[in-house]
């Protein structure tokens, strides 16, 4: 591992901050897509249930079968949203780690150069 200097750490912190900023849009878009996919599934299920015949339990099963694609799309969109959220949290944790490293390096540089606080 190459020793880091304060400039490199500042660049890493700036990069993390930029990634967090871009991540807000990614998470928001993923959430919107997941909600839309869930609404699409709910509507398709309701329509399939309404247009099927037989007792309620048979209509439920028929609606589940008829809307399997919409349900899979909704589940996939939800997974993408959760992944975006987890990624955003990981980048925030990375930023905190860089800030901690930065504080340590600043203290080390201050001690080695005889600087004052």
What are 85-108's pLDDT values in tens digits? Answer: 999 999 999 999 999 999 988 888
Q: Is residue 1 part of a domain?
A: no
Distance (Å, whole) CA 84 – CA 92: 12
Nearest C-alpha neighbor of 77 from the set 19, 85, 56: 85
Q: Is residue 52 part of a domain?
A: yes
Helix, strand, coil tally for the chain in percent (to 5): 85, 0, 15
Q: Determine the distance from the C-alpha atom of residue 16 to the mean position of all C-alpha atoms in its chain, rounded to a whole number.
A: 15
pLDDT at 64 over 90: yes
pTM: 0.80
Q: Is residue 101 part of a domain?
A: yes
Q: Is residue 64 part of a domain?
A: yes
pLDDT grade for 24, boundaries at 50, 70 and 90: very high
Q: Is residue 18 part of a domain?
A: yes
Q: Is residue 74 part of a domain?
A: yes
Domains held by the chain: number? 1
Q: Is residue 91 part of a domain?
A: yes
- The residue range of the domain holding 41 is 6-112
Distance (Å, whole) CA 20 – CA 14: 10
């Amino acid at each position: 591992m190459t020793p880091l200097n304060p400039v490199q750490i500042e660049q890493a912190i700036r990069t993390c901050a930029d990634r967090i900023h871009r991540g807000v849009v990614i998470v928001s878009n993923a959430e919107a897509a997941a909600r839309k996919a869930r609404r699409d599934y709910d509507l398709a299920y309701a329509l399939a249930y309404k247009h099927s015949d037989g007792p309620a339990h048979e209509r439920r099963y028929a609606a589940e079968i008829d809307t399997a694609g919409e349900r899979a799309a909704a589940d996939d969109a939800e997974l993408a949203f959760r992944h975006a959220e987890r990624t955003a949290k990981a980048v925030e944790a990375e930023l905190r780690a860089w800030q901690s490293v930065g504080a340590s390096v600043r203290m080390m540089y201050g001690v080695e150069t005889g600087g004052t606080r």
